[in-house]
């Protein structure tokens, strides 16, 4: 098992709301699809099944400013910045290696500590990519997810990550600096800390997921994940997955 960021709602400020979200995920998604994925790791899952994350530390981040956005790193290290306050809320979640702690794995934090297998993440996204019959998804729901993101009024620069980003309904959408999925640009998904990535591509009926134990230093387009995704889409005769000249590290 590996840790993956969940794509659940970002409304995680209250414990009761977090419990409701975790219950809904199990009831409406994980259960019907038979997913090996949890938001709040049950006590009956043995520690031996949970992979240990080899996460980067703040000093290591400073050594990788050619990969991390420099403004993101400076914000991550500044306790008065929005970046620091976002990643450190609650404070225990601010460092990647803290997710190896069993008490944090047990916590129900939908936006941060989904724990499961990449196969299950790909299965969930694959359901959305192929019509959602097992979940009873309505066509208008799928159409809203496929639709291009509306341009944000304040520009594409994320106030927390300090890079361009394009989101719609909680999911990242393809744009020139982050190319994923087919050229139809119907894909939607979520990158995770350290290089993980999962997405649905309705145009090719693909659910994709990648997760790692050793964290990388890109916010997206981790070289390991990118090589796998690019090979997949080349096999399908689709566009290369390599993004434009200004990459996530810029």
- DSSP, collapsed to helix, strand or coil, labels residue 106 as helix
Q: How far is CA 61 from CA 78, 218, 223, in A?
A: 13, 10, 17
**Average pLDDT over the chain, rounded to an integer:** 89
pTM of the model: 0.87
Report the pLDDT value the prediction gives residue 180, as an integer from 0 to 100. 97
* Number of domains into which the chain is organized: 3
Q: How many CB atoms are located within 10 Å of the residue 199 CB?
A: 27
Determine the structural domain holding residue 89 and report its residue range.
Answer: 58-94
Task: Give the tens place of pLDDT for each residue, 158-195.
Answer: 999 999 999 999 999 999 999 999 999 999 999 998 99
My answer on whether 133 and 205 are in the same domain is yes
Q: Which two tokens stand for residue 94?
A: 């601010």
Tell me the per-residue pLDDT of 187-245, one tens digit each, with 9 for 90 and over.
999 999 899 999 999 999 999 999 999 999 999 999 999 999 999 999 999 999 987 54
At residue 250, the pLDDT reads 37
Lowest mean pLDDT among 3-17, 51-65, 104-118, 133-147: 3-17
Q: Is residue 38 part of a domain?
A: yes
Residue 223 in domain: yes
Residue 243 included in any domain: no
User: Do the domain assignments include residue 249?
Assistant: no
Please report whether residue 241 resides in a domain. Answer: no
**247 belongs to a structural domain:** no
State how far Cα 10 lies from the chain centre: 12
Give the residue from 199, 194, 190 showing the smallest Cα distance to 233.
199
Give yes or no: residues 147 and 76 share one domain.
no
- The neighbour count for residue 206, using CB atoms within 10 Å, is 22
**Encoding tokens for residue 191?**
């990158």
As a whole number, mean pLDDT of residues 96-125 equals 93
- 33 and 104 housed in the same domain: yes
Q: Do residue 154 and residue 206 come from a single domain?
A: yes
Residue 244 covered by a domain = no
pLDDT for res 6: 38
126 and 180 part of one domain? yes
Together in a domain, 187 and 128: yes
**pLDDT confidence of 19, banded at 50, 70, 90?**
low
Is the Cβ–Cβ distance between 247 and 222 less than 8 Å? no
Per-residue pLDDT at 248 exceeds 60: no
From 12-21, 64-73, 155-164, 206-215, the region with the lowest mean pLDDT:
12-21
Over range 48-52, report the average pLDDT.
94
Supply the pLDDT for residue 5.
41
Question: Is 248 part of a structural domain of the chain?
Answer: no
Q: Looking at the structure, do residues 155 and 189 belong to the same domain, yes or no?
A: yes
Do residue 106 and residue 170 come from a single domain?
no
Task: Indicate whether 143 and 202 sit together in one domain.
Answer: yes
| Same-domain status, 107 and 191 | no
Asked if residue 4 has pLDDT above 80, the reply is no
Burial 115-153 (b: 16+ CB within 10 A, else e): bbbbebbbbbbbbbbeebeeeeeeeeebeebbeebeeee
**Domain identity same for 132 and 212:** yes
Per-residue model confidence (pLDDT) at position 242: 84
Judged against a pLDDT cut of 70, whether residue 10 lies above it is answered with no
Query: Looking at the structure, do residues 104 and 162 belong to the same domain, yes or no?
Result: no
């Amino acid at each position: 098992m590996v840790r993956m960021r969940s794509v659940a709602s970002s409304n995680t400020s209250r414990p009761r709301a977090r419990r409701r979200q975790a219950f809904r995920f199990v009831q409406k998604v994980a259960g019907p699809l038979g997913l090996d994925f949890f938001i709040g790791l049950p006590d009956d899952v043995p520690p031996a099944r949970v992979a240990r994350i080899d996460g980067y530390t703040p000093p290591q981040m400073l050594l990788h400013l050619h990969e991390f956005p420099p403004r993101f790193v400076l914000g991550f290290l500044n306790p008065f910045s929005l970046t620091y306050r976002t990643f450190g809320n609650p404070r225990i979640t601010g460092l990647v290696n803290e997710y190896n702690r069993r008490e944090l794995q047990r916590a129900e934090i939908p936006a941060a500590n989904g724990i499961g297998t990449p196969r299950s993440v790909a299965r969930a996204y694959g359901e959305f990519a192929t019509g959602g019959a097992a979940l009873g998804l309505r066509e208008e729901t799928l159409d809203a997810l496929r639709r291009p993101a509306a341009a944000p009024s304040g520009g594409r620069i994320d106030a927390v990550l300090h890079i361009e980003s394009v989101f719609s309904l909680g999911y990242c959408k393809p744009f020139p600096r982050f190319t994923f999925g087919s050229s139809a640009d119907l894909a939607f998904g979520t990158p995770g800390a350290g290089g993980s990535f999962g997405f649905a591509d309705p145009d090719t009926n693909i659910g994709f997921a990648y997760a790692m134990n050793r964290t990388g230093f890109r916010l997206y387009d981790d070289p390991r994940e990118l090589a796998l995704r690019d090979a997949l889409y080349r096999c399908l005769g689709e566009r290369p997955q390599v993004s434009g000249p200004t990459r996530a590290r810029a």
